[in-house]
Structure 1
Amino acid sequence: MTVVTPGERLGLAGEFFASNGTVEVGDHIYASIVGTVTTTKSTTSGELDTIQVIPTKKTMKSSIPEVSSIVTGKVLRVNPRMATLSIMVVGDQPCADNFQGIIRVQDVRATERDKIQIYNCFRPGDIVRAEVISLGDSRSYYLSTAKNELGVILATSVAGHTMIPISWEEMVCPKTKAVENRKCAKPVAIGESSTQ
């Protein structure tokens, strides 16, 4: 039984039919929620097997973010100095409690820190993978997306479609072909280490 978090790659779009709890981006299928992956064999010849993510039950042990933990969260708001996230997952464990994280301008990437504009890296509603670098203050954890595998893993375009990363700094809407700036995360497939 494999527990997955939003943004984890589940398989190729040509091999499975993407069902509940998944999203198809380009040639791959990704998890869109926290839960366990299940595949259902097709009863009809020639049809694809179905892959879905079953939501994790609330009774599952909840995790608390610690320094060097990899967390997944949703961007709530951005301002010129930082992005504020609601932390949903710590490692592969969902959070039962509400934790907030802050990605400061200087913690977005490892290079060219003086040129970073938060709005060009994150937008409200983005799903972001980040590392806890400090326990911060009583209200928020300090997070970093400086490593290659950290950053935006799921984002919705202005037109409302799931975007596809085309570089470390850009994502494109598959319908309108509009390009939007983001600090994109390198995709991490199931079984790969998230700290390469």
Structure 2
Amino acid sequence: MGGMSIVEQSEGSGIVTPGEVLGKASQIIPGRGAYLSPHNQTIYASLSGRRNTIPPPPNSPDPRPTVEVIGHKSHGPVPEPGSVVIARVTKVTVRSASADIMCVGPTSVREKFTGIIRQQDVRATEIDKVDMHLSFHPGDIVRAVVLSLGDARAYFLSTAKNELGVVSAESIAGATMVPISWTEMQCPLTGQVEQRKVAKVAG
């Protein structure tokens, strides 16, 4: 593991996960998000987050710094590349759709994450023929997979798999539409058909 560094500024090495060794009890004091295992006098992280080292107070008789783990905001889930997310479409343009991420896997998020579905990430075939306005409408609930962290805290999302795409949509008449094909959903009230990039239902 190498020697203990008091200054942990770099983001990459500063992120720890539960069970990760933070150091020996002879060198550090466990703070929030850290615990001491008495049998080997080793301190471990008890949650995921950023490692933070607090130097001892100037007049402290104990020279050991305190190491704590600062969890992601209220320990809500954070989208990562490969995560399947549920998002609500907020805006559709010619080249992309914006969405607010509501769930990562089965767990709802506790902070705001924005997703962007670019034209080339809507479906796997005939990518150049994708019409964003016939794929998504504002208010649609989509299932997507996170490709990467884009810029300005927006995640690039993809619906280019059969099971990804619109899972719930409201028709112009205000009813929840029923998927009738890969590309169409129908209003049960009016019978009107609207185009969407539909997520294939399992089963």
Matching of residue 87 in structure 1 with residue 96 in structure 2: no
Match of 2:131 in 1: 117
Match of 1:155 in 2: 169
CA RMSD of aligned residues (A): 1.5
Q: For the Cα contact (< 8 Å) 1:61–1:93, is it kept in 2?
A: no
Matching of residue 178 in structure 1 with residue 192 in structure 2: yes
Amino acid at match of 1:173: C
Amino acid at match of 2:177: M
Cα distance in 1 for residues equivalent to 2:173 and 2:179: 16
**1:18-29 maps to which residues of 2 (within 5 A)?**
none
Matching of residue 71 in structure 1 with residue 81 in structure 2: no
Shift of 1:61: 4.5
Match of 1:43 in 2: none
Cα distance in 1 for residues equivalent to 2:139 and 2:198: 14
Higher relative contact order, chain-length normalized (CA < 8 Å, sep 6+): 1
Unaligned runs of 5+ in 2: 1-73
Q: Deviations over 1:18-49 (max 9, x none)?
A: xxxxxxxxxxxxxxxxxxxxxxxxxxxxxxxx
Amino acid at match of 1:178: Q
Match of 1:98 in 2: 112
Q: From the CA coordinates, give the structure whose radius of gyration is larger.
A: 2
When the two structures are superposed, what TM-score results if normalisation uses the length of structure 2? 0.63
- Shift >2 Å, 4+ stretches: none
Shift of 1:138: 2.3
Matching of residue 166 in structure 1 with residue 180 in structure 2: yes
Count of aligned pairs between the two proteins: 131
- Greater share of residues in strand: 1
Q: Deviations over 1:160-196 (max 9, x none)?
A: 000000000000000100000000001247xxxxxxx
SS of 2:198's partner is coil
Cα distance in 2 for residues equivalent to 1:131 and 1:74: 14
Unaligned runs of 5+ in 1: 1-59, 190-196
SS of 2:113's partner is strand
